[in-house]
Structure 1
Amino acid sequence: MKQEDIGAFIRMMRKEKGMTQEQLAEMLGVSQRSVSRWENGKTMPDLSLYEPLCKALDVQVSELLYAKKMSDEEKTEHGEKTALSLLTTKSQLETFAIFTEVLIVVGIIISITLTKVLADTVPEMIITLVSGWFVWGIGLVLRVKIRKAILKLEES
């Protein structure tokens, strides 16, 4: 996925539709300068614009990302690769979610057990508790973020 190739593809499809940069920009709610930067390969469209851009150019997202018109067979092939990639990503996230659960348990163990066993003074108790809470908190935050990412993948 080369920025320059995608830009050239956007230009080609826009011209094929008989649109000016200004017309495409107006349809997408961006500036003409943004469209020019895309077409020159200097920047990429924001992800939120992919669907409306593809609709305006009458192409599929896979065609935009591969910067070429595709046959139905190629679209199916790329769709299957994308689906497999999503499944792999979901599997990796679920594996990482197990690690976050271990972090949560370790944080609880540090907070409760090690505070009683290792901490003799009040400052040592505070340090041990804060360390445990920190590990526990990191585990919880990561768990929430991973769960949101998994849900987002399942929606697509």
Structure 2
Amino acid sequence: MDTKKIGIFLKDLRNEKGMTQEQLGEKIGVSNKTISRWETGKYMPPVDCLNMLSDIYNISINEILGGERASGDKFTKIADENITVTLKGGEKNYQTFKKIMMCILALTTVLTIIIIMLLPMNTVRDVIVMVLVIAVAFIANTLNLTLNLIALATKEGISSGIYIID
């Protein structure tokens, strides 16, 4: 996605409607500085703002993300590009999240083992308790990682759909 192109397109659309940045900002609940950042390509509007801009300008979100009006084959091409960019971003976020969660899992497991090793173990019962605590910590961390990955995948799937449906 070319944020500069999108910004110029947003500015042109606003000017076509005869609105100032302040008026548009009031309509969608953001400051005129935020509108300026979008129009200069420094930032992208969040999804909820893309929906509002789409309604205000009577164009599709795909056209906004493509930075131009489109119909027919051109619309399909822009939609395909938007899907590709969205999916790549989701995959990158997923991989980063997965690495972070694996590091947390490893770190908490190692810390649990170290703490338990520092405790005095005088009987077989103490050793069994230690093994059970390590097992419970490992299972809890694994379940936490799994649930977070599922939540991330679900969130990415939902946000991906928002970019391509108008």
TM-score, normalised by the number of residues in structure 2: 0.60
Is residue 2:35 matched to residue 1:35? Answer: yes
Once the two structures are superposed, the pairs formed by residues 77-156 of structure 1 within 5 Å of their partners are 77-79=77-79, 82=83, 121=124, 124-152=127-155, 153=157, 156=161
1:83-133 CA distance string (max 9 Å, x none)? 9x76xx79xx8xx9xxxxxx9xxxxxxxxxxxxxxx985564444333322
Native 8 Å contact 1:3 1:41 kept in 2: yes
In 2 relative to 1, CA 10–123 (structure 1 residues): closer, same or farther, beyond 3 Å? farther
RMSD (Å) for aligned C-alpha atoms = 3.5
Number of the residue aligned with 1:63:
63
Q: How many residues get paired?
A: 130
Query: Structure 1 counterpart of 2:137, which letter?
Result: F
Q: 1:135 to 1:63 in 2, by over 3 A?
A: farther
CA distance in structure 2 between the partners assigned to 1:27 and 1:51 by the alignment:
12
Kindly state the Cα deviation for residue 145 of structure 1 after the two structures are TM-superposed.
3.1
**In structure 2, distance between residues paired with 1:131 and 1:28:** 51
- The equivalent residue for 1:45 is 45
Higher relative contact order (CA 8 A, sep 6+): 2
Describe the shift of the 1:39–1:78 C-alpha distance in structure 2 as closer, same or farther (beyond 3 A): closer
- Residue 140 of structure 2: SS of its match in structure 1? helix
Distance in 2, Cα, partners of 1:130 & 1:35: 53
Cα separation, partners in 2 of 1:128 and 1:50, compared to 1, 3 Å: farther
TM-score, normalised to structure 1, is: 0.63
Q: Distance in 2 between matches of 1:144 and 1:49?
A: 29
Amino acid across the alignment from 2:11: R
Tell me, in whole angstroms, the C-alpha distance in 2 between the residues paired with 1:67 and 1:80. 14
Uncovered stretches (5+) of structure 2, i.e. residues with no partner: 99-104, 106-120, 162-166
- Letter matched to residue 142 of structure 2: G
Matched position secondary structure for 2:41:
coil
